[in-house]
Amino acid sequence: MISVPVELGARRYEVEIGRGLRHDLARVISDSVGPGVRRAVVVTQEPVVAAGWADGLDLGVPHEIVVVGDGERSKSLATIETLTSGFARDGLARTDVVVALGGGVVTDLAGFAAATYHRGMAYINVATSLLAQVDAAIGGKTGVNLPEGKNLVGSFWQPRAVLCDTETLTSLPAREWACGRGEMAKYAFLGPGEPDASLLSLDLDEQVARCASIKAEVVAADEHEGDRRMVLNYGHTLAHALEASAFGDESLSLRHGEAVAIGLVFAALLARRLGRIDDDRVELHRKVVGAFDLSSRLPERDPHELVSLMGRDKKAAHDLTFVLDGEKGVEVVRGVGEDQVLATLEEMEAAT
């Protein structure tokens, strides 16, 4: 097992990475939440249950298993109402615990429900997807989508512990691996040294730990998403717009990491247009994304709709705000002109 601390003072917690860690829940609940726990609710999804990852769980206390829907459409205020109403019917007290067993959708939903029920109760993430293990389960950002955009309603609410059970990754379909690798490609540009795909040469537990370490350092330095933490959204401004533009139409849907891969190359092209980086640096982005076996092809979308959606991004402050590469590395850039963004989208379209 590998342990990565998230240093947040009194709210410090551990990210544990290894095979079979879901079976350590009784220990983790006792250590991280304490003796006041009398009941628990496990929030999960049908594919996780079908794969057998919810079988034989021992939480050390009586628990219920609640199944939420798959996909981004289930990340809604309606789902939060359903979850918290269920918590009340099950008699969950503020001293009890919610366990999120699943991928990023589950950790976002269960975390936000825990943050708002009784004005805040303990939760633990047991991440079962690569995306959740390298990113979504760590850092305490919880929330849901609105029709107008992704993750527009939520809270910062830190888990008491995160378990990255790498055994559960064996059941992931190919596109879910791609989803996680999109976030891993992002970390290639946020870690030390020249960006490359050397992360993939490590064994799986070490890959997850490397990404978790980078995120933990950033979260510890900037818990509530000032400019430092915003660098974790590298590639996400266009990615979230692409996801939002596909709401309600499964034929247009992209997995989150697939959209991030496209967003990384878009961000590089935009940075070049703004004079922040040169051609070689753009090509490096393409090479890194390709090395993670991801496509950077922009799907057909209305560019003006994408720009409108990017303006609603949670980083924005009544302007177009991006995380962009430059001489000092990846940083937040505010007040980018709409014409520059449209021109970059047109450049991507012409290359496909």
314 part of the active site: no
- Clarify whether 240 is annotated catalytic: yes
- Which entry of 22, 63, 75, 141 is annotated as an active-site residue? 141
- Secondary element (H or E) of residue 85: helix 77-89
Whether 225 is catalytic is yes
Q: Could you tell me the strand order of the sheet in which 40-45 lies?
A: 2-6, 13-18, 161-165, 122-127, 97-102, 40-45, 63-68
Concerning whether 141 is annotated as a catalytic residue, the answer is: yes
Active-site choice (256, 276, 285, 314) = 256
Catalytic residue among 89, 119, 318, 328: 119
Q: By CB neighbour count within 10 A (0-12 exposed, 13-18 middle, 19+ buried), where does 69 fall?
A: middle
Alpha-carbon distance of 159 to 263, in angstroms, equals 28
Contact predicate 126/209, CB 8 Å: no
Q: Which residues touch 230 (CB under 8 Å, ≥6 apart)?
A: 315, 323, 332
Q: Which residues contact 63 (CB under 8 A, 6 or more apart)?
A: 39, 40, 41, 42, 57, 99
Q: Which of 22, 186, 240, 272 is catalytic?
A: 240
Query: Is 183 labeled as catalytic in the residue annotation?
Result: yes
| Catalytic residue chosen out of the listed positions 16, 72, 176, 183 | 183
User: Quick count: other Cβ atoms within 10 Å of Cβ 161?
Assistant: 25
The residue annotated as part of the active site, out of 150, 229, 272, 276, is 229
Decide: 17 and 212 in contact? Cβ < 8 Å. Answer: yes
Q: Which of 22, 150, 215, 285 is catalytic?
A: 215
Q: What is the identity of the amino acid at 350? A: A
The one catalytic residue in 181, 186, 236, 272 is: 236
Q: Which of 14, 64, 217, 225 is catalytic?
A: 225
- 328 classed as catalytic: no
Rounded distance, CA 108 to CA 128, Å?
13
The residues annotated as belonging to the active site are 119, 141, 183, 215, 225, 229, 233, 236, 240, 256
